[in-house]
Chains A and B, each alone.
Chain A
C-alpha cells in the first residue's frame, strides 16, 4: 500500500474536505492505484536535471505601480454568500 486511510484523512483535513466513510474507502483505493502508477517516474534518473515550472521561459512580469479604476464594492460583493455592509461575512473565527 502506498497510502492508508489515516493518510487520506490527514490529506483531506489539509485540503479542507470532509469525506464520508464510503468516500474515504473509495478514495484510499483509487489514490493508492494512481500513486502506484506515478511511481514509474522513479525509473528515470533525473540527477542534475533542472525542474520546469513553466514551459515558456519567463521571469517576473513587472508593471508600473499606477492607480487604476476597479470594479467597485457593489460589483465585488454581488456574489457574496453573506455580507455586512461593505464586508464579506463569515462564521465566527475567534471565541
Chain B
C-alpha cells in the first residue's frame, strides 16, 4: 500500500474504518523520512518517540469512534512554530538550543484535533530567503531535481510533501514563502488573509506581513488544514474576529460565471517560456470551465520589491533585537561587558542574509532616513493595496504566475542578494496588500521541474480561491504525485 501518496481524506477513511492505525501510518512516515532525508534535508528535527505516542493516543480515540479529519494524521511544521519541549531553531545558530516552554496557538490546535506532529522542517534562517540556502541546517534540495533549490523560505515544508515524507505541512508566508516553494516543488500552498490565522508563538520576521498557512499535495487537504488552524485568537491581537467558513462545503461548487482577472504587469518580457506556456494553457482551462477572463492592471507592481525590502527589513531589525543572549538562545561572551556580549552573540549567531536585512532595516529606520525610506515605502504600500482593491471591483479573482522561472540551481543567485530579491516579484505584492493567495501545480518545464499558478482573492475570500483551485485540479492531472527519489 502506497501510504505516502494518499490524501488525508483517503487516509482518514482508512483510519476511521479500522483498516489502518495511526501508529502504522506514522511508522511509514518515519521510515520514508529516514530513507529520503539525507538527499532532501527537509527535516531539522524528527521527534519519532513523541510522534508514536501521539499516534497511539489518536488510535485510542479512533477506536472509540471519536476524532475528526486530522485525528491520527502525521503532520510536520516549519521550524518557526514554537513547540513545547521540542527544539525550535528557526533555521538559525542563535536558536540552536532553544526549547520552547509553550505551544504556538496553531500547534495547540493541531494537537487538540489529534494530528501527529512528526518533526520540524528546514527553512531559510528567520524565514529570510527565497531558496532555502540560508539555513544553519544546510540547504534543502528540490525532490524533483536535487541540484535545484526547493524555494523558500518554507522550503522544507514544500519539499517534505513532494518527497512523500508527510501529507500535510504548515509554513509561513511574508513575501511568498509558502507559495513560491509550493510552486517549485509541485504542491499546493495557501497564504491566508492577514489576520486569518493566529501568529501567537510563531517566530516574528516582519509583523505587518507574516501569515501562517497550509501546504498539501492537493487542494482538499489544503482546505482541511486551513479550516483546522484558522480563526480568532485572543492571544494574537492582530488576528481578526470573523467566522471561519466551512471551506469543504463550497469547495466543489465550480467557477462558472466567475470573473478572473489577468494583471497585465505579471505577463512581462523575461517570463520563462515554459512558465508562460503553462499559464496560458491554464487560462484556457479556466475558460472551458466557464470562467470569464478579463485583463486588469495593477500599475504599481514594479515597485513592490523595493517597497517590501524596506518595510520587511525595518520590521525585522526591530523584531530581531530580542536575540541578545539574555533570555534564551546561544550566548557568546568574551568578557567585554554587556554591549560586547550583545554584539558577539549576534555576530556569531546570525547568518549573512539575516545580518544584511537587520542592517538595511536599521538604516531605513535610522535618524535622518526614516522619511525617505520607511515612510515613503509605507505610502507606496497604500498605492499597491489600492491597485488590488480597484481590480477586485471588476473581478472575483486574479490569476498570475507564481515565479518568473522554475526552480533555479543551488548557488546560482547566492552571491547576488538583489537578483534573489527580484525572484519574488509576483508573490510580494499580495503580502503588502494583506490579501489571500495560493499556488497550485499547472505543469512541468522541459527540464522536468514543476510550475505553479497563483490565484489571488479578496480579503477573507479563501473559500473562493480554494474553489477555483479545486476546479482546476479536478479538470487536470497536474500535481498530487511524488517526486521520483
> Which positions in A face B, CB cutoff 8 Å?
3, 7-8, 11-12, 14-19, 23, 27, 30-31, 33-35, 37-44, 46, 49-56, 58, 61, 63, 71, 75-76, 78-82, 88, 90-93
- B370 CB to nearest A CB, Å: 11
Q: Is the interface of A mostly helix, strand, loop or mixed?
A: loop
Any A CB within 8 A of the CB of B29: no
**Most chain B CB inside 10 Å of its own CB: which residue of A15, A46, A58, A90:** A15
Give the nearest-CB partner of B195 in chain A.
Answer: A56
Give the nearest-CB partner of B305 in chain A.
Answer: A37
Give the nearest-CB partner of B376 in chain A.
Answer: A41
Q: Are A79 and B101 in contact (CB under 8 A)?
A: yes
Q: Are A90 and B341 in contact (CB under 8 A)?
A: yes
Give the nearest-CB partner of A55 in chain B.
Answer: B434
Among candidates B326, B344, B432, residue contacting A18 with C-beta atoms closer than 8 Å? B344
Which one, B268-276, B283-291, B359-367, B471-479, is touching chain A?
B359-367
Q: Are B99 and A79 in contact (CB under 8 A)?
A: yes
Known: A27-B356, A51-B381, A52-B382. A81 touches B346 (CB 8 A): no
Expressed in whole angstroms, the Cα–Cα distance for A80 and B325 within the complex equals 8
- B387 CB to nearest A CB, Å: 12
Any A CB within 8 A of the CB of B28: no
Residues of B within 8 A of A39 (CB): 306
Give B307-352 interface residues, CB cut-off 8 Å to A. 307, 309-310, 317, 321, 324-331, 333, 335, 337-344, 346-347, 350, 352
Known: A15-B358, A71-B102. A51 touches B382 (CB 8 A): yes
Known: A46-B379, A79-B98. A31 touches B360 (CB 8 A): yes
Residues of B within 8 A of A50 (CB): 379, 382
Known: A40-B303, A46-B383. A90 touches B338 (CB 8 A): yes
Residues of B within 8 A of A61 (CB): 237-238
Expressed in whole angstroms, the Cα–Cα distance for A6 and B432 within the complex equals 32
Q: Are A11 and B338 in contact (CB under 8 A)?
A: no
Q: What would 12 A/B residue contacts be, using CB atoms closer than 8 Å? A: A11-B359, A11-B362, A16-B339, A16-B343, A33-B418, A41-B307, A44-B380, A51-B379, A54-B208, A54-B434, A79-B97, A80-B327
Expressed in whole angstroms, the Cα–Cα distance for A23 and B358 within the complex equals 14
Q: Are B379 and A34 in contact (CB under 8 A)?
A: no
Q: Are B333 and A49 in contact (CB under 8 A)?
A: no
Expressed in whole angstroms, the Cα–Cα distance for A35 and B366 within the complex equals 14
> Chain B 228-268 against A: per-residue CB contact (8 Å), 1 yes, 0 no?
00000010011010000000000000000000000000000
Expressed in whole angstroms, the Cα–Cα distance for A69 and B344 within the complex equals 36
Expressed in whole angstroms, the Cα–Cα distance for A35 and B193 within the complex equals 30
Any A CB within 8 A of the CB of B200: no
Expressed in whole angstroms, the Cα–Cα distance for A11 and B325 within the complex equals 20
Among candidates A27, A37, A40, residue contacting B355 with C-beta atoms closer than 8 Å? A27
- A12 CB to nearest B CB, Å: 7
Among candidates B99, B234, B329, B377, residue contacting A41 with C-beta atoms closer than 8 Å? B377
Known: A40-B303, A90-B326. A17 touches B356 (CB 8 A): no
Give the nearest-CB partner of A36 in chain B.
Answer: B418
> Which positions in B face A, CB cutoff 8 Å?
97-99, 101-102, 193-195, 208, 234, 237-238, 240, 300, 302-303, 305-307, 309-310, 317, 321, 324-331, 333, 335, 337-344, 346-347, 350, 352, 355-356, 358-360, 362-363, 366, 373, 375-383, 385, 417-418, 421, 432-435, 459
Give the nearest-CB partner of A48 in chain B.
Answer: B379
Known: A18-B344, A18-B347, A54-B238. A81 touches B101 (CB 8 A): no
Expressed in whole angstroms, the Cα–Cα distance for A3 and B362 within the complex equals 13
Expressed in whole angstroms, the Cα–Cα distance for A53 and B434 within the complex equals 11
- A83 CB to nearest B CB, Å: 10
Known: A34-B418, A38-B373. 15 other contacts (CB 8 A): A7-B363, A15-B346, A18-B344, A30-B417, A33-B417, A46-B380, A54-B434, A55-B434, A56-B238, A58-B240, A61-B238, A76-B101, A81-B331, A90-B338, A91-B337
Expressed in whole angstroms, the Cα–Cα distance for A63 and B237 within the complex equals 9
Give the nearest-CB partner of B85 in chain A.
Answer: A78
Among candidates A3, A16, A31, A76, residue contacting B356 with C-beta atoms closer than 8 Å? A31
**Most chain A CB inside 10 Å of its own CB: which residue of B333, B347, B378, B379:** B379
Among candidates B98, B193, B338, residue contacting A56 with C-beta atoms closer than 8 Å? B193
Q: Are B359 and A17 in contact (CB under 8 A)?
A: yes
Among candidates A11, A34, A37, A56, residue contacting B366 with C-beta atoms closer than 8 Å? A11
Expressed in whole angstroms, the Cα–Cα distance for A27 and B208 within the complex equals 26
Residues of B within 8 A of A35 (CB): 360, 363
Known: A15-B362, A18-B344, A81-B326. A56 touches B240 (CB 8 A): yes
Give the nearest-CB partner of A75 in chain B.
Answer: B101
Expressed in whole angstroms, the Cα–Cα distance for A74 and B337 within the complex equals 26
- A54 CB to nearest B CB, Å: 5
Residues of A within 8 A of B306 (CB): 37-41
Expressed in whole angstroms, the Cα–Cα distance for A93 and B326 within the complex equals 13
Q: Are A53 and B208 in contact (CB under 8 A)?
A: yes
